[in-house]
């Protein structure tokens, strides 16, 4: 019996790879929307191997966290551009891809706010490819860098704001949660919060995708004005 268990552990260990380990780490952290519960011991248990086996791939939790951030950024994929894509369209595409990325791995948003990637894979996927898309659409390099900076930080911030406010997320129980939140605002004492009561229908939209798009469109308008003035 003990030999069978040992063979099982050995088989799982032989099937390990950095990719398998990182995917398991992301599953744990994303399920809880938290990184504090992710430990090497817990990850080893999830994978059915010993903790020392994981240390042969990652020297500790800090290196694991860095690799998780690089892994997520490196998998960023932009859809194929339409022929003669214009600046506004390119900016909308990048803004949506960034937000989808942040929402698909909510716990990793915290990593992006505390770590700087040094991975060539991450830099190609999340930086080089994005800048190339913007420049190819007609945005000069220096301005494309500014656009990149705004869009990725805006997506990080908005995803962080939206995560604990489920009434803003699309699909699922969003409509019912919006109704409940709308009622919460509308039921506040009107003498103390007249604007909140008056604008309850709009306040529930603050963490919505429509609000995110509003900010993106305002930014695009500014970029297009700069491009027009430079001509």
Burial of 137 (0-12, 13-18, 19+ CB in 10 A): buried
- Contact between residue 223 and residue 87 where contact means Cβ atoms under 8 Å apart: yes
Note the CATH number of domain 2-58. 1.10.10
pTM over 0.85: no
Ranges of each domain in the chain: 2-58, 85-230
Residue-wise pLDDT for 145-200, tens only, equals: 999 999 999 999 999 899 889 898 877 788 889 999 999 999 999 999 999 999 99
Confidence of residue 131 (pLDDT cuts 50, 70, 90): very high
Q: Per mean pLDDT, which of 53-67, 90-104, 160-174 is the most reliable? A: 90-104
What is the full DSSP assignment across 126-181? IIIHHHHHHHHTT--HHHHHHHHHHHHHHHHHHHHHHTT-GGGSSSTTHHHHHHHH
pLDDT at 202 over 90: yes
The architecture (CATH level 2) of 85-230 comes to Orthogonal Bundle (1.10)
């Amino acid at each position: 019996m003990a030999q069978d268990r040992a063979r099982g552990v050995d088989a799982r260990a032989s099937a390990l790879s950095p990719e398998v380990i990182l995917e398991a780490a992301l599953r744990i952290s994303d399920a809880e929307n938290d990184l504090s519960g992710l430990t090497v011991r817990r990850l080893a248990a999830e994978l059915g191997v010993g903790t020392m086996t994981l240390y042969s791939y990652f020297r500790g939790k800090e290196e694991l966290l860095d690799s998780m951030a690089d892994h997520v950024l490196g998998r960023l994929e932009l859809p194929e551009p339409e022929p003669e894509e214009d600046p506004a369209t390119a900016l909308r595409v990048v803004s949506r891809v960034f937000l989808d990325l942040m929402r698909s791995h909510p716990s990793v948003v915290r990593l992006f706010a505390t770590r700087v990637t040094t991975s060539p894979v991450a830099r190609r996927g999340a930086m080089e490819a994005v800048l190339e898309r913007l420049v190819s659409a007609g945005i000069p390099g220096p301005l494309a860098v500014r656009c990149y900076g705004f869009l990725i930080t805006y997506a990080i911030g908005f995803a962080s704001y939206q995560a604990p406010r489920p009434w803003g997320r699309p699909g699922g129980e969003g409509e019912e949660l919006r109704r409940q939140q709308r009622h919460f605002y509308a039921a506040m004492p009107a003498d103390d919060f007249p604007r909140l009561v008056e604008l309850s229908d709009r306040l529930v939209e603050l963490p919505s995708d429509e609000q995110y798009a509003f900010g993106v469109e305002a930014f695009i308008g500014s970029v297009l004005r700069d491009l027009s003035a430079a001509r």
